[in-house]
Amino acid sequence: MSVYNFNSGPSILPQPVLEEASRAILDFNGTGLSILEIGHRTPMFQDVLQEAISSVKKLMELDDSYEVLFLHGGATTQFMQVPMNLLDADETAAYCDNGIWGKKASKEASLFGNVNVVADTSDRNHTYIQKQFTVPADAKYLHITTNNTVEGTEWHQYPDISVPLIGDMSSDIFSRPVDFKKFSLVYAGAQKNMGAAGVNLVVVKKDVLGKIKRPIPTIMNYQKHIEAGSLMNTPPVFAVYTSMLTLRWILAEGGLAEMEKRTIAKSDLLYSTIDSLPVFEARVAKEDRSQMNAVFFLANPELETPFLDLCKKEGMVGVKGYRTVGGVRVSMYNALPISSVQVFCDLMKDFAFRKG
């Protein structure tokens, strides 16, 4: 039976990346050593790290005013590390609460300073993106989650503000061309569009650092990581290597313009199918639908379990909705071929014909 991987993360990786990474586990670049065995300060790994950094800057079209870091911990660590580096106890940061991850991020920030939640979409179960809100002029920064994996919403246009913009891009990074220069700091766990779990990408504009009075533990200090070139301590070597291979694959496939073209084709196919079948119900506002994570429901809740059972039987992996939301979730990251989406849409049509 064929398997179709719609997992929300860790998620599907490009086949060439899996093949190259598999070879490197046994013999990295003909050295006779596994990628799991090489020293992180050797020229072998330095080449890997530098290619990964240069690929990020190339894809983001950033100059040397930005630094690229590959750090331990997923995006959840950044919920703490961002305010620790940017927010003093007597200062205020602005946050948008568009779902579970934005709420978690603002909660962590409140441990380090004041938090002003300037946008909150809980009134409609986070099924839309609030676009009209006011950011206080004295806010140290505005934090947004650019794609809400759990709720299925996405920022398709970023707010124009006068304070630094911080983006948790864990689930839609490198899926489309973006003016990354609008952001002072971007972070993303690698395990959705960029590689294997275990490493976190942080891209930071240097001019926002070094301004707080609070002492920062060395391992949490962005400036210290910049000085050490992401090598303050032993990095997650294999996860960095897999990210490097994935970034190389994105560039070879045509870069972010090509990723966007594929993303639009996949999400348009799925959403048009959902909208055409009364058995299914998409509750997210059309203009705010995520192109990465489609969240939808069975109009008759009693049909949810039979539908998910059918998905499991037919090899559709990872389509059960997040535990706090329920329903169905189909994740369409860069490495997912449109053929998998087509098979899923065919299954939906067949189910609707028999149950509708």
The amino acid occupying position 291 is Q
Confidence (pLDDT) at 105: 98
CB 195 within 8 A of CB 246: yes
Our answer to whether residue 101 is catalytic in this structure is: yes
- Which one from 155, 192, 249, 266 is the annotated catalytic residue? 192
CB 6 within 8 A of CB 330: yes
Please tell us whether the domain made up of 255-355 is placed in CATH 3.90.1150.10: yes
Confidence (pLDDT) at 312: 97
- Which one from 97, 101, 140, 288 is the annotated catalytic residue? 101
120: tokens are: 């909150």
Confidence (pLDDT) at 197: 95
Confidence (pLDDT) at 200: 96
Cα 87 to Cα 138: distance, rounded to the nearest angstrom:
12
Confidence (pLDDT) at 19: 98
Cα 131 to Cα 159: distance, rounded to the nearest angstrom:
7
Residue ranges of the domains in the chain? Answer: 15-253, 255-355
Q: What is the CATH number of domain 15-253?
A: 3.40.640.10
- Which one from 168, 172, 266, 288 is the annotated catalytic residue? 168
Q: Which residues of the chain have pLDDT under 50?
A: none
* Upper half-sphere CA count for residue 195 (Cβ side, 13 Å): 27
Q: Which residues contact 20 (CB under 8 A, 6 or more apart)?
A: 245
